[in-house]
């Protein structure tokens, strides 16, 4: 079983490309291996100070977060979301995003969105429920 999140930012109703300078600034200090560039994505294996890990793939229109473990890795994910001014697509279809993104969402997406002043760990847990390891 895999837990997956999508990080998105929109401009004028269209997905916006992630800022790779911000991505590298946030992720480089916590990389557990080399950054891997493929035709369609740049992949990172991230390890937080407490040993929790996550796989992150940066694509042209979104960032994929795969199998985040319980622990401080969530602080890194939320920092990335905040620094990118992005939102999080939660597995149940809810899109958690900063209020400032409301005017930029694609038509109809507002109905399944939760708007907050800033995406924080507390806001994420409120929208998605506390994270539990899907393997336990």
Instruction: For residue range 75-108, list pLDDT tens digits in order.
Output: 999 999 999 999 999 988 999 999 999 999 999 9
Helix or strand holding residue 126 (H, E) = helix 121-128
C-alpha angle 65-91-96 in degrees, rounded to nearest 5: 80
Assigned token pair, 49:
């100070």
How is the chain split into domains, by residue range? Answer: 4-128
Confidence band (pLDDT; 50, 70, 90) for 136?
A: very low
User: pTM of the entire structure?
Assistant: 0.89
Instruction: For residue range 28-74, list pLDDT tens digits in order.
Output: 999 887 778 888 889 999 999 999 999 999 999 999 999 899 999 99
Residues 54, 127: Cα–Cα separation, whole Å? 20
With respect to CATH, is domain 4-128 assigned 3.30.310? yes
Residues 64, 6: Cα–Cα separation, whole Å? 5
Query: Three-state SS string across 27-47, please?
Result: HHHHECCCCEECCCCEEEEEE
């Amino acid at each position: 079983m895999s837990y997956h999140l999508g990080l998105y930012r929109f401009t004028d109703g269209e997905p916006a490309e992630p800022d790779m300078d911000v991505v590298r600034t946030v992720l480089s200090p916590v990389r557990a291996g080399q950054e891997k560039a493929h035709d369609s994505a740049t992949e990172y294996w991230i390890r937080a100070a407490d040993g929790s890990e996550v796989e992150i793939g940066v694509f042209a229109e979104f960032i994929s977060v795969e199998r985040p473990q319980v622990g401080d890795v969530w602080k890194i994910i939320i920092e990335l979301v905040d620094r990118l001014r992005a939102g999080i697509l939660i597995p149940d279809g809810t899109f958690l995003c900063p209020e400032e993104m409301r005017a930029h969402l694609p038509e109809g997406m507002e109905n399944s969105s939760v708007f907050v002043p800033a995406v924080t760990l507390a806001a994420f847990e409120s929208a998605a429920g506390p994270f539990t390891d899907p393997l336990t």
